[in-house]
């Protein structure tokens, strides 16, 4: 029979508590990385869909308001965000009709959006005419432009009403969000507002002598979400590969150890160590001294 021992089974080598815990850790890490990758991919898809919608609707030819909002209580469909519509009528110029939405950023500054109801034969639409800076001394619009009077034709991009920010107290003539609940105060003077959307001003004819700063084109960049998703999925592959490489190394080390420990070692006759001439002369001198 050969002196070598049987090679161990990989399952027997890895059937230990430490390797089981390592495998569970790998499974948890893979699941976490996959889920994080999916989260980043969903964010990429959401931004991509938003960018496609903006590109399609932002500069499209304007349509009639009733083509998008047939009635004052009609909700704005998701596919109609940023849809351009043409309105003919006039602004409500009564003091109680002009509102300012707070905390509106523009080029690194925080200001206001000027909100004015625009009355048409198809109903009244709240229009965000543009951005107005904040006074340095108080939280109020700085030199807001006058609202133009008389009949005019404007083009607006429809935006869904914003959610209400509860627990906020607003100064007179200001609102925290462009929400129908906060805008309803103007209805006695302006008429019933369209409740599903407001309009962001794109152009008006005739053009006024003074107007708020136009709102910038919305950002359509997709961000790094897709690359982040790929990175998380690459991490998900790394952990099981690293575990497999380490497990293979452990099995090979165990096999090599058993091979070395189980092999018969040849028995050899012991030979006297070879001594040099100097060592023999030293031993002879020591013997004479002892004698």
- Hey, how many other C-beta atoms are within 10 angstroms of the C-beta on 158? 23
pLDDT tens digits, one per residue of 9-37: 666 777 788 888 888 999 999 999 999 99
Burial class of residue 179, CB neighbours in 10 A (0-12, 13-18, 19+)? middle
Say whether 51 sits in a helix, a strand or coil: helix
Say whether 257 sits in a helix, a strand or coil: helix
Predicted local distance difference test score (pLDDT) of residue 234: 94
Predicted local distance difference test score (pLDDT) of residue 284: 65
Predicted local distance difference test score (pLDDT) of residue 138: 72
Say whether 167 sits in a helix, a strand or coil: coil
- Dist. CA 7–CA 211, nearest whole Å: 87
Q: Are 53 and 81 spatial neighbours (Cβ–Cβ below 8 Å)? A: yes
Q: Which residues of the chain have pLDDT under 50?
A: 1-4, 263-270
Two structure tokens written together for 224:
């790094």
Asked whether the bond before 206 is cis by omega within 30 degrees of 0, the reply is yes
Q: Are 53 and 82 spatial neighbours (Cβ–Cβ below 8 Å)? A: yes
Predicted local distance difference test score (pLDDT) of residue 185: 87
Say whether 151 sits in a helix, a strand or coil: coil
Predicted local distance difference test score (pLDDT) of residue 82: 94
- Dist. CA 27–CA 117, nearest whole Å: 58
CA angle 95, 199, 169 (to 5 degrees): 50
What angle in degrees, to the nearest 10, is found between the helix axes of 225-262 and 17-57?
A: 160
Cβ contacts of 223 within 8 Å, gap of 6 or more: 43, 44, 47
Predicted local distance difference test score (pLDDT) of residue 269: 43
Instruction: State if pTM tops 0.85.
Output: no
């Amino acid at each position: 029979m050969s002196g070598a021992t049987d090679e161990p089974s990989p399952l027997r080598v890895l059937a230990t508590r430490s390797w089981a815990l390592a495998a569970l850790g790998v499974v948890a890490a893979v699941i976490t990385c996959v889920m994080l990758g999916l989260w980043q991919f969903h964010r990429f898809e959401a931004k991509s869909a938003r960018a496609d919608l903006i590109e399609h609707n932002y500069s499209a030819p304007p349509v009639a308001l009733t083509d998008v909002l047939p009635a004052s209580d009609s909700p704005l469909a998701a596919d109609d965000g940023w849809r351009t519509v043409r309105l003919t009528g006039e602004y409500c110029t009564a003091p109680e009709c002009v509102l300012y939405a707070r905390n509106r950023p523009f080029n690194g500054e925080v200001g206001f959006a000027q909100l004015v109801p625009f009355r048409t034969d198809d109903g009244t639409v709240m229009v965000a005419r543009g951005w107005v800076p904040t006074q340095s001394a108080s939280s109020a619009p700085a030199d807001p432009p006058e609202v133009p009077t008389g009949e005019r034709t404007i083009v607006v991009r429809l935006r869904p009403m914003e959610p209400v920010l509860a627990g906020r107290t607003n100064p007179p003539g200001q609102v925290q969000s462009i929400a129908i609940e906060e805008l309803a105060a103007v209805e006695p003077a302006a008429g019933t507002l369209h409740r599903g959307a407001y309009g962001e001003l794109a152009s008006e004819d005739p053009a006024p002598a003074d107007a708020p700063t136009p709102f910038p084109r919305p950002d359509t960049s997709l961000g790094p979400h897709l690359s982040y998703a790929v990175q998380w999925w690459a991490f998900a592959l790394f952990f099981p590969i690293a575990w497999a490489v380490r497990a293979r190394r452990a099995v090979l080390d165990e096999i090599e150890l058993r091979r070395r420990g189980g092999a018969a070692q040849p028995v050899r006759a012991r030979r006297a160590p070879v001594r040099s001439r100097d060592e023999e002369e030293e031993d002879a001198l020591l013997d004479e001294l002892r004698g």
